[in-house]
């Protein structure tokens, strides 16, 4: 995690995009939300080399514990390499509060998923700075209910194989949309949104944004692999959504 920036501006670190940091709007004149509706189209990511994709998948094998039922098919990962779709993922939250995960088709679209995770924001980002973090979100399969996996309302949460509470899906709040709107010029990076922008007594809001490769294993299993820019040895994250039963 990069050093904290001055509260007068948002300054992403390790941003490989050509965009610049958005200026901090005055609290009384927040920018209107201009995010686009996602297209819901499927597509494959063409920006990564084959070796890089293979390395990402290999390094993202989940930790297996008796309580964390993540299915692994060692012979099925070749299809993952060819079947990924690039998405934008953002972790954000106040340092002493729970972290939120937003998944977007790209940084200029409305989020398709907002999850509140029972993990302290500061602790999660600290762990990511130390090495690979694997988050597994598990829920019970209900054959009689035909809903998409990302529409499940609540998940049991595991972080590096250890049960860590729950993940709860929720509709985007006004603050969520403000965060997505403020960060929309940023494709990859990390930093803080100043307290005067969020108008929240908890102070600065920490964020980390990256490209993720979405791999649909089945209707009951999806995985999101963080894609690091070439030459960047920064934090890595894998997120597994699994229905079991």
Separation between Cα atoms, residue 104 and residue 211, nearest integer Å = 10
Q: Where are the domains of the chain?
A: 85-243
**76: CB partners within 8 A, 6+ apart:** 217
Residue 209 has phi, psi (to 5 degrees) of -125, 140
Cβ contact 29:104 at 8 Å = no
| 245 residues of the chain, pLDDT tens digit each | 444 444 334 444 444 443 434 444 444 445 678 888 887 644 334 433 443 443 444 344 443 333 444 433 333 333 334 468 999 999 999 988 999 999 999 999 999 999 999 999 999 988 888 888 999 999 999 888 889 999 999 999 999 999 999 999 999 999 999 999 999 999 999 999 998 888 888 889 999 999 999 999 999 999 999 987 655 555 589 999 999 98
Q: What integer pLDDT is reported at residue 1 of this predicted model?
A: 46
Q: For residue 221, how many C-alpha atoms fall within 13 Å in the half-sphere facing its CB?
A: 10
**How far from chain centre, in Å, is Cα 181?**
16
In sequence order, what are the residues at sequence separation of 6 or more whose Cβ sits closer than 8 angstroms to the Cβ of residue 196? 7, 24, 26, 27
- CA dist 32 and 35 (Å) reads 9
Position 236 scores a pLDDT of 80
Q: Tell me if residue 45 falls in helix, strand or coil.
A: coil
Nearest in space to 93 (alpha carbons), one of 192, 24, 168, 23: 192
pLDDT given for residue 31 in this prediction:
60
| The pLDDT of residue 142 | 86
For residue 31, give the DSSP letter.
P
Give residues with Cβ within 8 angstroms of 137, minimum separation 6. Answer: 115, 155, 156, 157, 158, 167, 239, 240, 241, 242
* The two three-digit tokens of residue 197, written as one number: 């922008």
Total residues belonging to the chain? 245
Q: In terms of C-beta density within 10 A (0-12 exposed, 13-18 middle, 19 or more buried), how is residue 94 classed?
A: buried
pLDDT of residue 65: 35
- Determine the straight-line distance between the first and last CA of the chain, rounded to whole angstroms: 37
> What pLDDT, on a 0 to 100 scale, did the predictor assign at position 235?
54
CA-wise closest residue to 157 among 70, 73, 97, 245: 70
Cα(185)–Cα(28) distance, integer angstroms: 21
């Amino acid at each position: 995690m990069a050093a904290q920036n001055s509260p007068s501006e948002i300054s992403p670190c390790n941003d490989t995009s050509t965009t610049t940091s958005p200026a901090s709007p005055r609290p009384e004149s927040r920018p209107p939300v201009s995010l686009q509706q996602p297209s819901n189209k499927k597509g494959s990511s063409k920006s990564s080399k084959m070796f890089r994709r293979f390395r990402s998948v290999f390094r993202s094998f989940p930790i297996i514990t008796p309580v964390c039922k993540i299915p692994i098919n060692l012979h099925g990962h070749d299809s993952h390499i060819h079947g990924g779709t690039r998405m934008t993922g953002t972790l954000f939250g106040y340092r002493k509060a729970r972290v939120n995960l937003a998944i977007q088709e790209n940084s200029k679209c409305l989020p398709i998923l907002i999850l509140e995770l029972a993990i302290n924001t500061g602790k999660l980002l600290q762990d990511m700075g130390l090495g690979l973090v694997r988050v597994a979100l598990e829920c019970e399969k209900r054959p009689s209910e035909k809903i998409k996996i990302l529409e499940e309302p609540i998940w049991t949460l595991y972080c590096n194989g250890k049960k860590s509470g729950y993940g709860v899906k929720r509709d985007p709040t006004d603050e969520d949309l403000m965060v997505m709107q403020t960060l929309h010029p940023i494709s990859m990076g990390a930093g803080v949104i100043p307290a005067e922008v969020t108008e929240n007594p908890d102070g600065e809001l920490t964020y980390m944004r990256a490209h993720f490769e979405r791999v649909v294993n089945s209707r009951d299993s999806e995985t999101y692999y963080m894609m690091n820019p070439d030459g960047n040895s920064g934090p890595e994250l894998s997120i597994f959504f699994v229905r079991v039963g």
